[in-house]
Amino acid sequence: MKKKMFGIAVFSLLVLSACSTTSSTTDSGQQEEQGAVAQEIQVSTAGALSTLDSGQYTDVNSSDMIGQVAEGLYRLDQEGDPELAMAAEEPKVSEDGLVYTFTIRDAKWSNGDPVTADDFVYAFQYVANPENGSSSSNQMDVLKNGSQVRQGDAEVSELGAKALDQQTLELTLTSPISYLDQILVGTPFMPKNQAFAEEKGADYGLSAENFVGNGPFLIEGWNGTNESWTLTKNPELGC
């Protein structure tokens, strides 16, 4: 049976910024750049998006898309192994294996705001806060007081995530974890621009206009219900 693109599958167009060029060789043997070559691919996804909010998604399609438009401390490389992303370098770890201190690399949100350690703290606290009803709240149990916070037995400020300054994030764990980098690639551990998210309130992440990201792609043309949208390469990441 021939399937319909807009029935069974959702159509999305990813447009990569032109980072490759063609060139020619002059009589002197020097190469001249003739211009950039646009790179475009069309991709079908298994279903529609419900949100771009890393603290409110409940489906795989939304989680996968959030991973394209937002980036955490680590990301997965081509072999599926964690590699540094928003973390500028591997963290300093305390002798007891409980405290990880990360330096956040210089980066900007798609609205031009700098990405800071506070954006990570805000995102983690949002997920753990029982008032927000995040389905991912139990994932914050890896952090000190995570279980107590999500069950309402501790204040959100007691979660083991603290911004020491704008570029320094301190995570305190419940117990030592040798594979923390594999956990931190997860969608609930993506940062959120606190000022923008609080401005949008309940509308945050429900359309492209109500979202700002720091990931490899920028999303355009998604109004919250339509079945097609465009991803363009984030110019902040360079070529």
Contacts of 47 (CB under 8 A, 6+ apart): 10, 59, 61
Confidence of residue 99 (pLDDT cuts 50, 70, 90): very high
Burial (CB < 10 A; 0-12, 13-18, 19+), residue 183, is middle
Predicted local confidence at residue 37, as pLDDT: 61
CB 138 within 8 A of CB 101: no
Among 15-24, 122-131, 216-225, the range scoring the smallest mean pLDDT is 15-24
Mean pLDDT of the chain: 86
Among 14-28, 49-63, 97-111, 224-238, the range scoring the smallest mean pLDDT is 14-28
| CATH fold of 10-237 | Dipeptide-binding Protein; domain 1 (3.90.76)
Predicted local confidence at residue 47, as pLDDT: 77
Predicted local confidence at residue 21, as pLDDT: 39
Euclidean distance between CA atoms 130 and 126, whole angstroms: 8
Structure tokens at 17: 């910024």
Helix/strand/coil for 123: helix
As a whole-number percent, the residues of the chain with pLDDT over 70 amount to 79
How would you classify the pairing of strands 230-233 and 10-25? parallel
Q: What pLDDT, in 10s, does the model give residues 183-235?
A: 999 999 999 999 999 999 999 999 999 999 999 999 999 999 998 899 999 98
Confidence of residue 40 (pLDDT cuts 50, 70, 90): low
Entry pTM: 0.83
Residue 80 has pLDDT above 60, yes or no: yes
Mean pLDDT of 139-154: 98
